[in-house]
Structure 1
Amino acid sequence: MPDLAQVFSDLVRYETRLYNVLGARLRAEHGVTIGQFEFLRFIGGRDGCRVNDLAQEFAIAVGATSKGVDRLEAAGWVRRRPNPENRRSSLLELTDTGRQLLDAAAPTFERELGAWLADPITARSLTQLASTIAVLRRTVEDARAGMPSG
C-alpha cells in the first residue's frame, strides 16, 4: 500500500503547479486567468448556465462565483439574460468576444495539458489516471463533501 500522505502531497503539489503553469501561459498569450478561462469554458459548453451551476462545478461559494462572473461581464466576455423559468436567477452566455477569446485560448490550454499531463506518461497510464480521478471525483461529489458552506 502506498503512503497515502505522500500520494496526497504529490497530487496537491502537482495540481497546484499544473494550474500555475497553465495560468501563466493563458495570461501571457491571451490575457485571461486560468479561473476566467475555466468559467468561459464551462459557460460556453452549456445552454442555460447559471451562477449556481458554476459554483457547484467548481466547489466555490455562490458569492465568489457571482463576483467572478461580474468580472467576466465587465470584460465583455459574458452576458447575463433573464431566466424565463426563475426570475431570481439569470442565465449566462458568452458574448461574441468571449467566444472568440475561448476559441483562441483553447488550443493553448490543450497544448499545455499535452506537455504537462499527457506527454510525461504513456497513453495507457493516462487512460488509467483519467478513470481513477473520475472515480475519486464522483466519490467526493456523491458524498457532497468539500463544498463551501455559505
Structure 2
Amino acid sequence: MLPLGYLSQLLAPERTTANRAILLAWTVTNGTQAPREMQLRATLATHYGQDSVINAGTGSGKTLPIALNILLDDPQAQGITLTISPLKRLEITQENDFKLRYGIPTIAINEDTPREDKYWHQNMFSLATISSPPSPSLSDSLSSPSTSESSPAPFSTFVPTHS
C-alpha cells in the first residue's frame, strides 16, 4: 500500500523523486516491494543531502532506503556508496540483498577479506567497470542526471503502461 497521504504533502520535486523511488523498488524487486512512508522519508532525506536515522527492528526495511538512494544516483557518475555494518552476518545479508534483490554490485569488506591483489582485481575493481544496472532502459528513464533537482523530469514520462 502506497503512503498516498504522505506523497500528496510533498512538493513537486520531492514527489517526483519519491515516485521514481517507488517505481525503482517495484521494478527491481519484480513487483514484490514498494517503499513505506518511513522508507520514503529516509530515502528523500538522504537524496536531498539531509541526515536520517532509522530506529527500527530487524527486518523492518532499513536496507531499502540505502538501495533506493544508490538506484536514484546518476549511473554516469560511477559513485561508490560505503555502508558500515556492525556485524559480519549483517554484512553478508546486505551484500546478498544488494546483489540479488536490487541488482547493485556489492562487496563486503572486513578482516576476513583476502588481501591478495588477485582477489581485489576480480571482485572490487571489476565492480568499478560495471556501468549499467540490470535494466538499463528503465534505469535511464528513471534517472535524471541532466535534470536539476529544482525541475525534475515530469513523472508522466516514466509511468509504465500495462497491456
Fold shared by both chains (TM-score > 0.5): no
| Higher percent of residues as strand | 1
Q: TM-score, normalised by structure 2?
A: 0.33
| Higher percent of residues as helix | 1
